[in-house]
Amino acid sequence: MHDRSTLAALRVDRFIRERLLPAVHRDAHPLEVTCWEAPGEPVTFAEAAAGEYRPISAGEAWGRPWGTTWFRVTGAVPDRWRGADGALPAGTRAELVADLGFTIGQPGFQCEAMVWSPDGRPVRGIAPLNNAVIEAVGADGAVDVYIEGASNPDVGSLFTFAPTPVGDPLTAGTDPVYRLRHVDVRLRDLEVAGLLADTVALHGLAAQLDPASPRQADIVAALERMIDAVDPHDVAGTATAGRAVLAPALARPAAASAHTLHAVGHAHIDSAWLWPVRETVRKVARTFSNVLSLMDEDPGVVFAASSAQQYAWMKEYYPDLFERIRARVAEGRFVPVGGMWVESDTNMPGGEALARQFVAGKGFFLREFGIDTREVWLPDSFGYTGAMPQVAAAAGARWFLTQKISWNETNRFPHHTFQWEGIDGTRLFTHFPPVDTYNSTVSAAELAYAERNYADKGRGTVSLLPYGYGDGGGGPTREMAAAVARAQSLEGSPRVVHSSPRRFFETAEAEYPDPEVWVGELYLEFHRGTYTSQLRTKQGNRRSEHLLREAELWATAATVHTGAEYPAERLSRAWETVLLQQFHDILPGSSIAWVHRDAERNYVHVARELEDIIDASLRRLAGDGAHTLTANAAPHARRGVPALSAAPRTATAGTVPRAEAAGWVLDNGVVRVVIDRRGLVTSAVDLATGRECIPPDAAGGLLQLHRDTPTQWDAWDVDVHYRATVMELTDADRVVAVEDAVVVERSFGDSRIVQRISLEAGSRTVEFAFELDWHETQKLLKLAFPIDVHTDRATSEIQFGHIDRATHTNTSWDTARFETVAHRWVRVAEPDFGVAVVNDSTYGHDITRAPRSTGGGTVSIVRLSLIRAALFPDPTQDQGAHALRVGLVIGAEVADAVAEGYRMNLPERVVTGAAATDIPPLVSVSAPGVVVEAVKLAEDGSGDVVVRLYEALGRRTTASLSTGFAATAVTETDLLERESTASAVVDVQMGERPEATLQLRPFQLVTLRFAR
């Protein structure tokens, strides 16, 4: 027999395009449309309904960038559609269909709309590929609705990464960007729609099968017979005959060994990205209303949505919609997942902030829905910290899901279902959907790929299929739901079943109880520039985290010691702002200019609020008098002030530079530092050991300017080829000694930087303070410290501990890890000597090895990525003035690095006019490696004191924790402050000042609750 499969496929393609798609709607009837343009930002329905509307016709332009245009749509089903009995033909349905001028860009990245009823209820959304509204047509055939059109410009859905001004309303222009095509009432033929779904399912499946297989031949033959059975001039009248031809092919069941995909409706909605937060609120409403409408249409659909923040927006701005969601949640069909406030970045949030993502998120779901989510749901974050398993488990999570690691540029991750072990040994059952997308359309190609790609065959047989338009929202469509229905059991295809995340994870765990183990971070070999982009946003986050620590500590002390009212609501609002802005396109710096300008403004507001709380709390604690106190919120004593307390400070001074022929010397009796005439550190000696930190013929504090032109994803990526071009900034405009510092001024390109190098008395930290006026584009500024230490690994602080990473390139995994993330410090060391580099706002680092110029061996090169200047999506990224600090800690143990990291990020506060001679600490810990991360009052308003601490050095430790207040009980809890099985508390001595004895394993995280 001759092979006709190629021609048959072309025939089916054309039949779908020219016959079936146009026949889904038997007829269309235009509706009357008028419009009113909101003058500024979005308005309420009441304001819009009161607007002065004008007629608008198909073909007219509408919508300035980021504007809102309201359309009033009225009309009725035409009489010609009705039979003698006044009813619509059997097997049909009337629906409103609107095309606002959709472009070829993706759904969620362009204009969208919400349909409102005349009495102000949100009905459902309109978006490309999902623009039919059944609910808009009344039982009597009348149409009377408002459409809230959002003329969001397409910032870059085609991802050519070209710079564009439209990401900022100040530069986006005012000319209309869309042209209305039609707003009709249409008569949908349900049988033709069914035939279309049947045909698409079988045609797609045939394309995935072996051309020599009998199954493919049967399907191709059936499709051709179907085309013969359907009259191209009367598709509606012959669709039933066509479906009958295809029915046997659709009825052939899947093989017993077929992979099973648990289909979960999904709409990954970025809480900000190529649109501002205010638009995300509307995107969520449009998407969630679409889902509720689809659930009415298809009883099998189950939808999962994460991010408590997005539900909170619905409760605040769309209460009617929120109550409809609540009803579906109670049914188990609208499923809150993830338990975090937002789908945050996990590399850069601090430890307590990562914990609070769960405290806030799970707390909201418990209060509003009575649901304790068991999974972590982060499909799109840019790599995952090795602290996550412990943090998630401490919040009551049992499972973890992402698919982002499938984006790796170099190495293919070896598992899709596995146990993920964190830095403290906690394990989390983890799944990567092998479909390699969180926006599946349930195409046959995706289903076949998922089955082929699944890496754990022979041990597991199930995977999760998140389907629905995402990123910019939209969610699942009726076409996707129809595809799920046809793939439930279809020969040649994996099985597809409607499911929920919980059902999937319980099934996967039961069939594969002992999967392979992956230890440590899940490093994404991509998007490494997100550790550096948008410096101001990152500084706002870092500063806010530490201000929140101070505000909670001093407010708790003021409540416990003086009876002051605890500012719970103010603190909660501040936390929610900070948590929202840790979303994985805000904190990483990969959003449009509008988003980052909003974020920076919000950080200023948070800082003012927290400074006010701190000042009021310390003033209440100190009273009025003549004493001067220094408040130390850090977990370590410094300058005579105990940790977490206030006391008179031991006087200190800076080290005055001494001029020498080669430059200047800073010598405080602990370390001796030489700065040459170029303003570079040529020597740094630990005087107790005589150990020199700077290698021969090298210099520290060296600024290096690289070309930074990523292959794609500008703000996201730093590609390794940046190293091919570098300019070392060794020329100085001016190097002078000023009081207790050496000041270095440099100019380069269109930019200027002033460095202030200083050394405090008694300190082993050389501090570099930078004032940078940055006006470069597509450049990356690094700060380099060659360290005379031979090691094959570097230690970097992460949440609640640290991680070791190779500095060599033995394997492809090591080679791909050429830019890494760290929090307040990194350290390189030999067994008896180490050097740390601490910072106040830098996350991106690269730490490598190089040959020693004399004497053999290798040295370590520690470099910090200070600032970038990408052009997409924000062409003005990081232009202007910046200030940041870095410290070189000479002769540093891990404990020194931890303490110096906190010192640089938690400046002391001076309290003048105090009556008190000291403010004693609320809690004290005996072991220096046990770090108190948070002291606060309980979330439930009981007045109990909650203390969160962790073992920071990676050692087993016994420590005693004593309180500075009376308590009636001490309980070990999870992050949500619910009693848990004691794992760290081995003894409690009650009394006026209780004391708990703790035995901690390396990096263990512990939360203690003290009942008052």
Active site residues: 380
Cis amide linkage into residue 169, ω under 30° from 0? no
Contact 347/524 with Cβ under 8 angstroms?
Answer: no
Q: Alpha carbon of 610 to those of 554, 636, 746: distances in Å?
A: 11, 22, 36
> From CA 462, how far away is CA 221, in angstroms rounded?
31
> From CA 87, how far away is CA 544, in angstroms rounded?
63
Q: Which candidate, 47, 69, 156, 144, places its Cα nearest to that of 113?
A: 69
Using a 10 angstrom Cβ sphere, with 0-12 exposed, 13-18 middle and 19 or more buried, the burial of residue 397 is: buried
Contact 778/707 with Cβ under 8 angstroms?
Answer: yes
Structure tokens at 212: 């020599």
Structure tokens at 131: 């623009």
Give the number of other Cβ atoms within 10 Å of residue 11's Cβ. Answer: 15
Structure tokens at 983: 């794992």
> From CA 705, how far away is CA 692, in angstroms rounded?
27
State the amino acid at position 267 in one-letter form: A
> From CA 356, how far away is CA 638, in angstroms rounded?
28
> From CA 207, how far away is CA 199, in angstroms rounded?
12
> From CA 149, how far away is CA 127, in angstroms rounded?
10
Structure tokens at 852: 């020693």
Q: Which candidate, 836, 774, 775, 778, places its Cα nearest to that of 802?
A: 836
Q: Alpha carbon of 514 to those of 266, 372, 462, 509, 746: distances in Å?
A: 28, 25, 15, 8, 58
Q: Which long-range contacts (CB under 8 A, 24 or more apart) does 981-989 make?
A: none
> From CA 25, how far away is CA 29, in angstroms rounded?
11
Using a 10 angstrom Cβ sphere, with 0-12 exposed, 13-18 middle and 19 or more buried, the burial of residue 103 is: middle
DSSP state of 928: T
Longest dimension (CA), the chain: 107
> From CA 679, how far away is CA 754, in angstroms rounded?
11
DSSP state of 531: G
